[in-house]
Structure 1
Amino acid sequence: MGGRPGGALVLVLVLVCAGGARGKPTFRKDRVVHPEPELGERPREDNQSFQYDHEAFLGKEEARTFDQLTPEESKEKLGKIVDRIDDDKDGYVTTEELKNWIKRVQKRYIYENVAKVWKDYDLNKDNKISWEEYKQATYGYYLENPEEFQDATDQHNFKKMLPRDERRFRTADLDGDSAATREEFTAFLHPEEFEHMKDIVVLETLQDIDKNEDGFVDQDEYIADMFANEEGGPEPDWVVTEREQFSDFRDLNKDGKMDKEEIRHWILPQDYDHAQAEARHLVYESDVDKDQKLTKEEILDNWNMFVGSQATNYGEDLTKNHDEL
């Protein structure tokens, strides 16, 4: 999911094949969301900046379907979703109920994402994905047609990503049989969601941002990961704020750079719950009478924040039994 300017983000790079197995591979950048400013410090948002909320509330794929619906259709479907979020059916949506909904949406997105790509990698249809199957499906074109990758950047990227992917695969492969079950492959594709993959997330973050390869992330590298000042002009205010964040909160030992433990504290804070923070944000922005809970009317009155001019294919699924939600 994306973030607002000022929210700390880290790259998780995953290679995907274009056009299915053995297609020419391309790079996709996913970003893991990290802590944002406290609610009182956030600027009031307009309709153009609600994408983060839409994706958290609906899931990335569902959020994309909203543009196809009219505002009236969106509100109608949102109303049905609100009925499902209200677990105790007392007519109010609490922060806890919103948090639980967001967690279910995220879990559903992750497992649907794995199911969507599974067939591209399980080439022998044994319901496991071996390292050799993944390597062939993802890198086979590159390995068999190296002449098409004469560009130095492409060569560097693929040579770097192949061993990196293997390292991540081996870490996800808990039983060490060189073949990933669905759960192990989910850990491979979404390492930030699994405790035993956290060291890999930290290491890959360091390697992504540490351009001078000294084993640390300095302030300029930290900023360059978020902002490219191509015109050479003054930095935006949010970049200046991020420099202050680096000095005040990222560089804990004040040596001018982040080591692995400081990176871990930044991207995987133990005391931060993304779903809880987003639920608090949605309640804060929509709770007109300030009773710390939302009525359906309050949610529908602020429908732009939840679904914008978009809507959800959950509406089509409401009559079906979704155990995962």
Structure 2
Amino acid sequence: MFRSKLVIVLCIAYAFAGVTKKDRVVDQHLSDKDPGTEEYDHDAFVGRDEAEEFEKLSPEESKRRLGIIFDKIDTDSDGLVSDSELQSWITKTQQRYINDNTKREFVNHDEDKDDKITWKEYYDLNFGFLQETDWEDDSNDMSYKKMLKRDEARWKAADEDGDNSLTYEEYKAYLHPEEFDRMKNVVLDETLSDMDKNGDGMLDMEEYMNDIYRPETEGEEEPDWVEVEREQFQKYRDEDQDGKLNREEVGKWILPEDYNHALAESQHLVHESDDNKDGHISKEEMLEHQEVFVGSQATEWGDMINRHDEF
């Protein structure tokens, strides 16, 4: 059953410092892994599905294929990859994942193959198997009643022509609302629903921090950035200084207008692998830092290189 969740993504300054920091800047398509990790970078660089396949390669084969990918990214063939070339590659990787995911889900849900998904088709596949007793428990955030309510709201927002059916493009908006300006209110509604535990329509400091940082063990020492984040809440995010983030303030936090995820990730990758600090990545530098870009484990792998021929 498809359940789209907002994910927490990279805050680039903390990634440069080698600290894993969680932040709710919406970037569902780059990765659902923890920001600042190699897994996040792998997903962003080659795509989620391909990153998993890359983990099956031997280090030698991984390096060989990474060299081929380098040549594809180096569009001006100068033997160096700039952050702009990386940004272009990552953007295409994002869009390929979004399109592949939408095609896969669309085919699964369009049972009568009429190039649209009716609400009945969607409901039958995702909720039709439930028994009456399954609807009775409404005590937690993952109850079927609450999931259905969320799906209905997102469906209505994605359904531009109001015919209670979704075309391919409308279904793409349903699956990946962070990609569409008209879905912004849905993203905000879902974020507030996830985080606003007292139901007042705003986020206080405790709700904000509980989403960003939760210690894995009792008594765990807080990382330094946690206190910095409290200061961010107080000094910058809470613009009207009332101790809470209202809907507009939450929107500026999770959907910043001036934040380019692909650019931020490309700059991060250059920072991690540019040994001579010339602002570019040579093939030697990329291969030397292959663990930053792709996995490097055992046996066989699929058709990643052929897939990238379409770029």
TM class by smaller structure: 0.7 to 0.9
Q: Which residue matches 1:162?
A: 148
Q: Which runs of 4+ in 1 moved over 6 A?
A: none
Deviation at 1:241, TM superposition (A): 3.3
**CA 1:141–1:39 in 2, change beyond 3 Å: closer, same or farther?**
closer
* 1:302 paired residue number: 289
**For this pair of structures, how many residues does the alignment match?**
296
Letter in 1 for 2:245: M
Structure 1 pair 245/36, CA: closer, same or farther in 2 (3 Å)? farther
CA distance in 2, matches of 1:251, 1:235: 26
Alpha carbons 1:219, 1:246 under 8 Å: kept: yes
In 2, Cα distance between the equivalents of 1:122 and 1:63?
28
Aligned to 2:258: 271
When residues 240 and 32 of structure 1 are mapped into structure 2, their CA distance, relative to the original with a 3 A threshold, is: closer
CA deviations on 1:168-214 (whole Å, 9 max, x unpaired) are: 11111112221111111010010001111112111211111001000
2:178 to 189, 192, 205: 192
Native 8 Å contact 2:41 2:293 kept in 1: yes
Counterpart of 2:129 in 1: which secondary structure? helix
Supply the RMSD in Å over aligned alpha carbons.
Answer: 2.8
Deviations 1:54-101 (A, max 9, x none): 111111111111221110010001000011001111211111000000
Of the three residues 103, 117, 124, the one matched with 1:136 is 124
Q: Does 1:52 align with 2:40?
A: yes
Task: Give the TM-score taking structure 2 as reference length.
Answer: 0.86
Distance change (3 Å), C-alpha of 1:202 and 1:103? same
Structure 2 CA distance for aligned equivalents of residues 192 and 314 of structure 1: 31
Distance in 1 (alpha carbons) for counterparts of 2:11 and 2:150? 27
What amino acid sits opposite 1:90 in the alignment?
D
**Cα distance, 1:196–1:101 mapped onto 2, change above 3 Å:** same
1:322–1:178 CA distance, 2 compared to 1 (3 A):
farther
Q: Per-residue deviation at 1:30?
A: 4.6
User: Is 1:181 aligned to 2:167, yes or no?
Assistant: yes
* CA shift in 2, pair 1:263/1:310, >3 Å: farther
Hey, which of these two has a bigger chunk of strand by percent? 1
Residue 92 of structure 2 is aligned to residue 104 of structure 1: yes
TM-score (norm 1): 0.82
How far apart, in 2, do the equivalents of 1:62 and 1:321 lie? 10
- In the alignment, which residue of structure 2 is the partner of 1:201? 187
Q: Work out the percentage of aligned pairs sharing the same amino acid.
A: 45
Structure 1 spans left out of the alignment, 5+ residues: 1-15, 18-26
Compare 114-123 and 31-40 and name the one that shifted more: 31-40
1:124 counterpart (109, 112, 116):
112
Which of 224, 231, 237 is equivalent to 1:250?
237
Return 176-185 or 78-87, whichever deviates more.
176-185
